[in-house]
Amino acid sequence: MAGNIVNINVRIVITPFVGSELARRNLYCKANVRYGATAKNVFDLYTTSPNVPTGCPMVVYIHGGYWQYLSKEESAFLAPSLNASRPDGVVFVAVDYVLASEKEHEEHASMAGIYSAMQDLLRALNVVARKLNCSAIHFIGHSAGAHLLAGMCSLDYPSDQRPWLFKLVKSLWLVSGVYELEPIRHTYVNEPLQLSSAEVEACSPVRQVEKFIRNMKNSSDAVVHIVYGEFEAPTFELESLQYFHALKKAMEETTGGAGFSVPEPVKVSGRDHFDVIDDLKNNHVLEKLPKMFGEDQTATNRTKTPTGLLGITSQNCDLREVSLRDVVNASTYIFTL
């Protein structure tokens, strides 16, 4: 049994760690940009250079680990291949968040605290995307990260902020996600989480699809991809399909249309829960990125006026005490101290 545990841990960590180390060696990194209330609410930005060409898309990765393992340090493994896929590269963002396993030292380590911090993340990413003149924001979440990504789009936001917060969102990649928390309450995973019934209700994306639609209808024809591996544990496939059908049903009942699309879920052949994200790196994301961006991929893009990363700091991305009233629907917004 001990050997099996070691093998699983190696499988989870080795590929992302090696790829992330490659990103740190070969790409420019602006590390530890603060987005929320705690020291763990930070993200790293990876680009081909400190000067980002105008119109460069942003790709955000939220890691899994059952809300108690992994970090942004192993989450940059997609950055090298995604940056190599375009002449101008991408602005890749590896996200950290508070883990439930840190509860002894961190007051925000409950599921409700982890989940609600995604509001701060979305606000901060919008500030950075506009400051760097990014053309779009694409999100990828794996396992617990897919849960948090779906949750980020299912939280309550003031109505006058939704257009600004979701306008740039062009795609969500929900990979092997957890969308219903009730089964988690009856497993070992709940030991650090200690989920309450209220948290299960509020933090289960499959129970919040109406809010998801209310928010995502402010996007510009975004595409929500639901992906899972052929050899997943049955629960992950079941929840992926249940979430898809819940979204589609609610979309059909939405007056005026949803404003985004949800294609049929993709079952990745020959992959399981751990290596499905590697296949996403090698095939699905890279194949779809040029079509999603809908941009001229020629080298002439490099002549566009670049924007530097050096002006981005924790202070000018932290929006906890800032009203967005004056920047709703703004086509360009530079957050100043």
- Which string of DSSP letters, residue by residue, matches 217-259? TTSSSEEEEEEEETT--HHHHHHHHHHHHHHHHHHHTSTT--S
Residue, of 165 and 276, whose pLDDT is higher: 165
The encoded tokens of residue 31 equal 């590390």
* Residues comprising the chain, all counted: 337
> Longest C-alpha distance within the chain, in Å?
57
Mean pLDDT of 282-297: 48
Q: Tokens 């979309």, residue?
A: 251
φ/ψ region of 127 (left if φ > 0, alpha if ψ in -120 to 50, else beta) reads alpha
* 173/202 Cα distance (integer angstroms): 22
| pLDDT over 60 (residue 301) | no
Radius of gyration of the chain, Cα coordinates, nearest whole angstrom: 19
Average pLDDT, the chain: 81
The Cα angle at residue 158 between residues 154 and 163, in degrees rounded to 5: 80
| pLDDT over 90 (residue 194) | yes
Crossing angle for the helix pair 234-252 and 209-216, to the nearest 10 degrees: 60
- pLDDT band of residue 20 (cuts 50, 70, 90) is confident
- pLDDT band of residue 82 (cuts 50, 70, 90) is confident
Pairing of strands 306-308, 51-53: antiparallel
Q: What is the pLDDT of residue 256?
A: 73
Mean pLDDT of 194-201: 96
Q: What is the pLDDT of residue 297?
A: 38
* 120/320 Cα distance (integer angstroms): 7
Mean pLDDT of 43-72: 92
